[in-house]
């Protein structure tokens, strides 16, 4: 049974810092891994999707890496801004395509 | 392209009452998902439809929750009777097919508070 874990549960950093969010999964036979952002009271916004054949994906200040063999993914945020404050979730698809989520990391970037 | 639509956005009810949520997926998306997100946790699948058929409802509390997608387009999720522990955000998502290689797109969610 696939399980997804995110560490840390919460993170507070000063503006301008580079930071890394961690995601681990127990079954390495995944098709892809997706990172989402969730603002308070809002739905989920997809940030990056990494296919199983890829090692990383980049979008602006965001870079996501995937290491299937070790069951890990990281989301790197460069030069963090207060607008980056949100909850970040990672997810992998189960055998029917449903997404299995981690519990999320709540990020606060202080001005 | 219009996104996934959900209504209502917020609902407050008392325990033992009934409530229904509505979702309209992205046009042309065959697969529709309902997730429950309890505060501080990641979303968990309640039910998954492929067109108007159920693919996975293993985590749906069938004694109180029901869902339908009669015409293979929009969907309704119902809770009857509601319990305090049903307080959560209910997220609807859709994908083009089973999306093992593609992305799911999420609606804004319905926040339910059971008093």
Q: What is the DSSP letter of A27?
A: -
Nearest CA to CA, how far is B43 from chain A (Å)? 6
Joined tokens for residue B70: 């009669």
* pLDDT band at residue B77 using 50, 70 and 90 as cut-offs: very high
Joined tokens for residue B75: 């969907």
* pLDDT band at residue B106 using 50, 70 and 90 as cut-offs: very high
Whether residue B1 is predicted with pLDDT greater than 90 in this model: the reply is no
Contact A99 B103 (CB under 8 A): no
Would you call A42 an interface residue with chain B, using a CB distance cutoff of 8 Å? yes
Nearest CA to CA, how far is B55 from chain A (Å)? 7
Q: What is the DSSP letter of A107?
A: E
Q: B32 and B25 in contact (C-beta within 8 Å)?
A: yes
Q: What is the pLDDT of residue B99?
A: 57
Q: What is the pLDDT of residue B43?
A: 95
Tell me the β-bridge partners of A77.
Answer: A19, A62
Q: Cα torsion for B12, B14, B15, B16, to the nearest 10°?
A: -110
Write out the DSSP string of B26-38.
Answer: -TT--EEEEEEE-
Q: What is the pLDDT of residue B104?
A: 87
The 10s digit of each residue's pLDDT in A30-40 is 989 999 999 98
Whether residue A27 is predicted with pLDDT greater than 80 in this model: the reply is yes
Joined tokens for residue B115: 């008093």
Q: What is the mean pLDDT of residues A76-105?
A: 94
Q: What is the pLDDT of residue B53?
A: 92
Whether residue B101 is predicted with pLDDT greater than 80 in this model: the reply is no
Q: What is the mean pLDDT of residues B50-71?
A: 93
Would you call B22 an interface residue with chain A, using a CB distance cutoff of 8 Å? no
Q: What is the pLDDT of residue A62?
A: 97
- Residues in chain A within 8 Å Cβ distance of B91: 43-44
Residue B46: Cβ within 10 Å count: 21
Kindly give the pairing relationship between strand A86-93 and strand B75-79.
unpaired
Kindly give the pairing relationship between strand A10-14 and strand A105-110.
parallel
Would you call B25 an interface residue with chain A, using a CB distance cutoff of 8 Å? no
């Amino acid at each position: 049974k696939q399980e997804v874990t995110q560490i840390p549960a919460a993170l507070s950093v000063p503006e301008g810092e580079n930071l890394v969010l961690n995601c681990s999964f127990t079954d390495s036979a995944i098709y892809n891994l997706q990172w989402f952002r969730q603002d308070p009271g809002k739905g989920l916004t997809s940030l990056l999707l990494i296919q199983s054949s890829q090692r990383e994906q980049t979008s602006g200040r965001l870079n996501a890496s995937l290491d299937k063999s070790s069951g890990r993914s990281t989301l790197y945020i460069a030069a963090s801004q207060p607008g980056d404050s949100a909850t970040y979730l990672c997810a992998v698809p189960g055998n029917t395509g449903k997404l299995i989520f981690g519990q999320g990391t709540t990020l606060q970037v202080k001005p | 392209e219009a996104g996934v639509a959900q209504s209502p956005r917020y609902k407050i009810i008392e325990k033992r009452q009934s409530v229904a949520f509505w979702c309209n997926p992205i046009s042309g998306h065959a697969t529709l998902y309902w997730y429950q997100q309890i505060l501080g946790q990641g979303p968990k699948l309640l039910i998954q439809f492929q067109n108007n058929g159920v693919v996975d409802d293993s985590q749906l509390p069938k004694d109180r929750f029901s869902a339908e997608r009669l015409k293979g387009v929009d969907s309704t999720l119902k809770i009857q009777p509601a319990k305090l522990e049903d307080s959560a955000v209910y997220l609807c998502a859709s994908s083009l097919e089973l999306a093992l290689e593609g992305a799911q797109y999420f609606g804004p969610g319905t926040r339910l508070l059971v008093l």
